Structure 1
Amino acid sequence: MRQNRRTAAANSGPEKAPAERVVKDIRRATRRQFSAEEKIRIVLEGVRGEESIAELCRREGIASSMYYGW
């Protein structure tokens, strides 16, 4: 019985690495890259104050912390 437990543990270990790699690749592929012009446009819209920062960030699909970081 001990060999069966070891075999099951040994088999489950290496399978995790490829799954984690796939998840990282998916995250990387779905991550948006904003150009300098896009960042400037978004920040200037926020500075104008026509709508709240929260509304602006929701519309643009960014976190408010990212907005303030820019």
Structure 2
Amino acid sequence: MVKKTNKKLIKEVRRNTRQVYNAEQKILIVMEGLRAELSAAELCRKYSISKATYYKWSKEFIEAGKKRLSGNETREATSEEVKDLRRNTVLKESLADLVIRYDIVKKAYICWINPST
């Protein structure tokens, strides 16, 4: 009875204190593994991950690379990316308008200062 509760407690502590890796960290770990400076076992110990997790990340990384290189996949833009692109377009148009106005004012000023030109 005591052993079961201890095992459950240990599992719960491990689950709650487990490291959660974001996509960039996963890529860095997989890239480190691809450089083959450390064995897969050493790499897994270093980052406290299981071999199965490491190999799963590696497979996902390679599969994603294949899809991107094949060119058959069209990536869907997120709504945030679309908003950013629209905002960039508006900013570019505003900047172009300001540059044109600046040139007009500059030419008018030069003609006012030096009427012979």
TM category, shorter: 0.5 to 0.7
Q: Which 4+ residue blocks in structure 1 deviate beyond 6 angstroms?
A: none
**Unaligned segments of structure 2, at least 5 residues:** 58-117
Higher relative contact order at CA 8 Å, sep ≥6: structure 1 or structure 2? 1
Unaligned runs of 5+ in 1: 1-18
Query: 1: distance between equivalents of 2:14 and 2:38?
Result: 30
Structure 2: distance between partners of 1:26 and 1:58: 19
Larger radius of gyration: 2
Identity across the alignment (%): 51
| TM-score in terms of structure 2 length | 0.37
Query: What is the aligned residue count?
Result: 50
Normalized against structure 1, the TM-score is what?
Answer: 0.59
Q: Deviations over 1:8-41 (max 9, x none)?
A: xxxxxxxxxxx8xxx5864542122100011000
CA distance in 2, matches of 1:45, 1:35: 16
